[in-house]
Structure 1
Amino acid sequence: QKAGYQTALIGKWHLESLPTGFTYWEIVPGQGDYYNPDFITQTNDTIQKHGYITNLITDDALDWMENKRDKEKPFCLLIHHKAIHRNWMADTCNLALYEDKEFALPDNFFDDYNGREAAAAQEMSIVKDMDMIYDLKMLRPDKESRLKSLYESFIGRMDEGQRAAWDAFYGPVIDDFYQKNPQGKDLANWKFQRYMRDYMKTVKSLDDNVGRVLDYLEENGLLDNTLVVYTSDQGFYMGEHGWFDKRFMYEESMRTPLIMRLPKEFDRKGDITEMVQNIDYAPTFLELAGVKVPDDIQGVSLLPLLKGEKPADWRRSLYYHFYEYPAEHMVKRHYGVRTDRYKLIHFYNDIDAWELYDLEKDPAEMHNVINDSAYGEVLADMQAELKKLQILYNDTDFVK
């Protein structure tokens, strides 16, 4: 704002406070609801909008760009979608998609977690922990589940037409499931297929709405001078290790989507292989806008990489720390370091377990080599790198 930019934030906020420092904002309470969601406005009123949340957030973003901003000034717009957050409720127009698609089970879907004590203690297994009604939509009056009432509150937001479309699709699926009553590995595969299909059709709406934003920018002559960033707060398990959700430092959740469409003065295309982190986004945006990056920001601007440069002093490792335990899915507290080839993790708090992975030989992280003497030198180097990053990021209070 101080540099002359108009700033706007629309959609998910998920913080205790209301947004500050934005020219315009409109947010959903908490995670928001897929159907007919509530929005908190700048006047502190909570209003309900009719429709599907991914469309509504995009509608508001396009309306702000077209009708509410000063078109003589530059802008920074954050479009924060709820999708594709659990429990993956697709728009009615997409309900029938992918039902003929058979998704391949990951090779380690039936992981036994040998040598990985913390992984064995989690509660995010598709087979054991995915709720039949809340996650998989198998609602029937005579069936119960831990999260049934929450699911009923979600579908209770639908209007008559939305609910009719929902029931018309899921009704036959529910009848077929309870009639066939799959067991064992058949049930495990059924849960995986239902999860993947619901997830993918929810993604479809997100993809379509990203396209709406890109189309607007192109049609209004804004695409060539706008940096467009598509990212997320983390990666996600799609059956790897038998899991859904996130939190672990393993590759599927540590690797975060990041795609940028660059303004015309940048000619960089293709993959950038250097290690970047979400803490790098803010300094990147600030430098691009001509704003001095504050000294207390820990990340670094990605502009040299976007220009095709190869800085000699670019980071060689990434730091990770998860400390929300005990909580949802019961993932143990842990911290660690990842280089281009190796990963070292320490689980702590009510557990004391170390894990070391050779990502070149074991990309699925199935074999913990912490006690393999052949990796003694690697382990020493990784421990030194870990300590260096903990000091760099001032994250040493919990280390004995």
Structure 2
Amino acid sequence: MGRSGFPHLYPLLFHAIVLSMQTVKIYQLNHLSPALFQRLKAAQVEAAQVWNCCMEMHKAARLAHLPWPGRDALQKATKGRFALQSQSVQMIVATFLANVQTARQLRQTHPQMKMKYPWRTKRFYPVKWPAQAVSKENGRVVLPMGRGRPSLVLPIALPEHCGACSLVWNQGFELHVCIEIPQATEAPGEVTATVDLGEIHLAAVTTTTSEALIVTGRGIRSLKRQRQLQLGKIAKKQSRCQKSSCRWKRLQRAKNKQCRRAERRIRDLRHKATRKVIDFCVQHQVGTLFIGNPHGVRDKNCGRHHNQRMALWEYGKDIAYLTHKAKAAHIMSFTGSERGTSSQCPVCGHKHKPKGRNWACVCQFSGHRDLVGSINMHRLAYGTQVKFPRSFTYLRPGPSRSRSSRADTPQRCLSKTEAQPRLVQTVSSETGHPSELA
């Protein structure tokens, strides 16, 4: 949904989307036996064959200018041909048809994207099971593979209210499980708020009651920077190796390990940051939330360093996380363009490009740059002018680093001597010179 134009439809739209609430929980499948690993790999190969069959039929119909195959035709063509359960095959067919429908709509509404219909031959594809096909037995999950074939048994204790499952490869096998989560029965209040997304500060929130919150994103940015430096060092070593050699493969496994670890830490911080935003909205009785979409910020060329930071800025995930958590809190959320909000004074309307984190205007107004953008969004989203907040709350999403590696070190490996108190350098109020205190 774009900018506010039909506020009288908000309750109807919101009532239509809160009937069911699910989230996805990810289970990492580590320490798999070689036989089980090969079975999971073979299952994804079979799923890819189902996708390729649908893709080839659809492509042949397009090239021959014939009616496109529908659900019945694709299910009939894939029935009993692959080593998967029939419901898993049907879910892949449904996903393919949804992909075709999405591509068709984008070709009509956004021709500049030059969206293609599915055409690439896949080697692997996620395997999916509906909720009625998944069974739980004594702390294990049983995923059927069809009549006459042994089921996949994974040592995972699923919660009571779980739904469909998907076997996904993400630098290692993962099981994605749909889980029912509790949701609020009514909106926290009638206050409106706006969210200005950023790369340095992940979110700046302001309400019509002049309450403000800033959640920093420096921890996420530092983790991305650390990942890029580590991958660069490993790639430099790989460039001196022959491809597919033993050392090259060992370095490639190290790269995958670093990527998976960084992805988990970044995802954890993003969830914690967006949770703080929604908790702030619930605390201040926010019923409607506008999330600014900074799409188009990557179009301007500002040098390779800044371009890399913009390319690594995952604001789409921030919008998705905020929308999902707002839905669970019964807060109506919508998004739209935020163009020009960060370069206009909220008092006199003067426009200029600010430098640094402080926004200073010729009318003697000064305030936090991200809060200025969030305040100006109220005019775009709701058509009202809000007073600039006198103070704001600054929060970190959480510790970006895990606990010290020495915490798991055996006691015999630690130093036997007690740690000495660290010297702290302070400034004496009498002499004005630094002095050392124990």
Give the alignment's TM-score, normalised by structure 2: 0.24
Greater share of strand residues, 1 or 2?
2
Specify which structure has the bigger relative contact order, considering alpha-carbon pairs within 8 angstroms and separated by 6 or more residues. 2
Larger radius of gyration: 2
Greater share of helix residues, 1 or 2?
2
Give the alignment's TM-score, normalised by structure 1: 0.26
